[in-house]
Amino acid sequence: MATPLTADVLVVGFGKGGKAAAHALTDAGRRVILVERSENMYGGTCPNVGCVPTKMLVHYSNSRRLEDDAQEFFANSVAGVRKLTTAFRAGNFESLDGKDTATVITGAATFLDPHTIAVGEGDDRITVTAPTILINTGSEPVLPAIPGLADSPLLVSSTELTRATDLPRSLVIIGGGYLGLEFASIYRHFGADVTVIEAADQLLPREDADIASVVTEILAGDGIQVVTGAQVVEIADNKVVYTKDQTTHTIEAAAVLPATGRRAVTAGLGLDAAGVRTAPNGSIVVDEHLRTSQPHIFALGDVNDGPQFTYISLDDARIVLDQLLGEGKRATTDRVAVPHTLFTTPPLATVGLTEHEARARNLDITVSREMVADIIAMPRAYTVEETRGVMKFVVDANTDLVLGAALLSIDAQEIVNTVALAMRHDITATELRDSIYTHPSSTEALNEVFDKVVR
């Protein structure tokens, strides 16, 4: 057995939060050991199987010309993704392991007690002990209990789709949420036949019906078959069987992607031995400072059941670092107006309350909405030939403060950051409307849309 190792801080998992914290702690003079179970995941989900590869595929898929061979173009695109993610992975490893006070160990970690983990087995087993531990093991897809799915050769994960070089002829996606619709848009633009089956009566069930309706129209216009109010009941041979309106339907598929949610990766960590409490869904229970039931152990990112976004994991690192190196005041309760983006084409970016949520709270609101094609102040949409979509704002009728926004448009992922910043600092809708923006830009749509009040 290898000599036991000690560190000031032990980080379990190479995700965004753990990585950011590890760098800051080593820069502050702490001895850090980071354990990652897979050499293919240095840097976490985002640069390896999440944000980076999927957004590259969005870019590549929208660049395909009609004369391009779909399979060849797809294979070349995946090769481009692999090249970049490989470089990012190596860079993430070297930038941390190359520091004098940091070490990266590859292998699965299991807690032996509240301060010690074991990595590996037998003669290769390593133990690491530290007074402070950060858990950043992320999340993994949930496989729905559909008969025939688990053993079906059609079953693919989002990770497998970003790495496979064969474009599926037909792809059936179970679930009409963010992940499902993003992959639907990507693979349809690459040339696959795509069907999305959603159990709710609309895609994106958490969004307002008018926004979901425009998203559905855009997807359908791109040739994606959308089936809502349906339940997948079986995967049999090369067919997906579903029911809708008490009628059974079948559709052939070359691949089936379940996109019905994710769960925290905690199985096998031995959290009982550490005295770390978990919720019924397996996520680690934390307080507003991300401390677990063991005050010296923190949980960052998807594993703590917070919003599953890379930028939230980064903010988790800021909270933990404030506990370890700062004043200890920063908390998850400080977060307001956190934006989200679904990278369909065009993207949908949202922040704050929907109209439905605001009215359910009996808030006195006004609603401003305009189709992108009608926004005179936004010529950029015409210059890049993407005029599909809609912009919608929910405004407090008494204070003129923006309560929420749904932006389905070119550059929405950028515009929403301006809106979110305004919401955090009580910038009114009138101020946003009357501000000076560069031209031609997408942000200048704000000069107009706030005047398009609908009842």
Of the candidates 181, 184, 186, 223, the residue with the CA atom closest to the CA atom of residue 206: 181
Q: What's the CA gap between 90 and 104, in Å, rounded?
A: 12
Q: Which helix (H) or strand (E) holds 6?
A: strand 5-6
Is 340 in the active site? no
The DSSP H or E segment spanning 68 is none
Q: CB-based contacts of 99: which residues, under 8 Å, 6+ apart?
A: 23, 26
Residue type at position 434: D
d(CA 450, CA 395): 9
Residue 382 contacts residue 409 (beta carbons within 8 Å): no
Q: Which two tokens stand for residue 1?
A: 């057995």
Hey, what's the torsion of the CAs at 344, 148, 151, 283, to 10 degrees? 60
Is the bond into 131 cis (omega within 30 degrees of 0)?
Answer: no
Q: Sheet with 170-174: list strands edge to edge.
A: 225-227, 193-197, 170-174, 255-258
Question: DSSP string spanning 8-57?
Answer: SEEEES-SHHHHHHHHHHHHTT--EEEEES-GGGTT-HHHHTSHHHHHHH
For residues 164 and 82, the answer to whether their CB atoms sit within 8 Å is no
Question: In sequence order, which residues have a C-beta less than 8 Å from that of residue 151 and are 6 or more positions away?
Answer: none
**Cis link prior to 347 (omega < 30° from 0)?**
no
Contact (CB, 8 A) for 416 and 407 = yes
Task: Name the residue type at position 306.
Answer: G
Helix (H, G, I), strand (E, B) or coil at 445: helix
Would the CA dihedral through 20, 25, 27, 30 be positive or negative?
negative
Torsion of CA 28, 85, 345, 232, to 10 degrees: -100
Catalytic residues: 439
